[in-house]
Amino acid sequence: MNELLLSKRLACVAAQVKPGDRVADIGSDHAYLPVYLIKTKQINFAVAGEVIKGPFETAQRQVQKSQLQEQIMVRLADGLAAIKESDAIDTIVIAGMGGQLIASILENGWQNKQLKKTQRLVLQPNLDENEVRLWLSGHGFGITHEEIIEEKNKIYEVIVASPMQEAAYSEKELFFGPFLMTEKNPVFQKKWMHASHQKQNVLKRLQLAKNPRLEKIKELQKQLLWIKEVLQ
Ligand code: SAM
């Protein structure tokens, strides 16, 4: 992968950015995404935010090498603090992290009123996708699109959201993804077949334990039933 040839995962994220958007890529350790979007003329302006100094310097070097310092602002900052009001950002991308971390970055941004003007969130959690959906549904964001892809034996989901007045989801939709569970593509089926096997093994172990954790057992049984229903 490099700034002109993205991984399948990052290409899937890039495809969700609307042409001409002003983009903030939060957690931009190598700035590949903003450099790619500008080099391919999809956008003209981006912020690359990174909280750790080493990756921040890598992003800076990449932007300098690509001679895009006028169009990509690389900033050392925690989460959405990388964004200034004058950047007039429409789309925030947060990719390649756990769902809990993505939700906490969004929550901090929400508390600091940094999400007020956001038109679009493009989120790619590596796990705990339901945490991201839960945060979105609790903060007036509706899911407008979802993708699920496989790359090098790993499965990734991309969740796109926008502010929406009526955005209510069932527990099941938050768990599977409202669009993904309707589409049920082969990657989705593979993910949940695998998850079902894993959960069945955990359930067996829990049921054999001396002091079975009844709450956990009930939760797993519910999830296994959902998976069975969805994969039917
Ligand atoms: N977004 C890139 C991608 O999808 O390939 C990089 C993913 S990398 C695994 C995650 C990056 O997010 C790391 O460089 C990490 O330092 C950064 N990060 C984690 N928490 C952050 C935060 N609160 N604010 C900004 N960057 C953060």
CA distance 151 to 23: 25
Distance CA 14, CA 26 (A): 14
Which of the four pLDDT bands, split at 50, 70 and 90, describes residue 213? Answer: confident
* Three-class HEC string of the chain: CCCCCCCHHHHHHHCCCCCCCEEEEECCCCCHHHHHHHHCCCCCEEEEEECCHHHHHHHHHHHHHCCCCCCEEEEECCHHHHCCHHHCCCEEEEEEECHHHHHHHHHHHHHCCCCCCCCEEEEEECCCHHHHHHHHHHCCEEEEEEEEEEECCEEEEEEEEEECCCCCCCHHHHHHCCCHHHHCCHHHHHHHHHHHHHHHHHHHHHHHCCCCCHHHHHHHHHHHHHHHHHHC
Q: CA 92 to CA 120: how far, in whole Å?
A: 6
State the pLDDT at residue 167.
80
Kindly tell me if the per-residue pLDDT of 70 is higher than 70. yes
Tell me how far the alpha carbon of residue 9 is from its chain's centroid.
11
Residue 141 CA to residue 167 CA, distance in Å, equals 7
Say how many Å lie between the CA of residue 27 and the centre of ligand 1: 3
pLDDT at 201: 96
Mean pLDDT of 116-134: 95
> How would you class 116 by CB atoms within 10 Å of its CB: exposed for 0-12, middle for 13-18, buried for 19 or more?
exposed
At 3, is the pLDDT very low, low, confident or very high (cuts 50, 70, 90)? low
Q: Give the pTM.
A: 0.96
What pLDDT is attached to residue 166? 80
Give residue 159's pLDDT.
98
Is the pLDDT at 37 greater than 80? The verdict is yes
Does 4 score more than 90 pLDDT? no
Give pLDDT, residue 116: 84
Mean pLDDT, rounded, for 49-75: 97
Residues above pLDDT 70, as percent of the chain: 99
* Nearest CA-CA partner of 89 in 162, 161, 164, 25: 25
Find the mean pLDDT for residues 27-40.
96
80 lines ligand 1 (CB under 6 A): no
pLDDT digits (tens, 9 = 90+) for 173-196: 999 999 999 999 999 999 999 999
**Which residue's C-alpha comes closest to atom 22 of ligand 1?**
79
Whose C-alpha lies nearest to ligand 1, atom 16? 52
Beta carbon of 23 within 6 Å of any ligand 1 atom: no
Structural tokens at position 220: 């797993």
Best mutation site among 7, 29, 58, 110 for ligand 1 pocket (most ligand atoms within 8 Å of CB): 29
Half-sphere exposure of 39 (CA within 13 A, CB side): 18
Q: Given ligand 1 and candidates 17, 37, 50, 58, which is best to mutate, with the most ligand atoms within 8 Å of its CB?
A: 50
Q: What is the mean pLDDT of residues 18-41?
A: 97
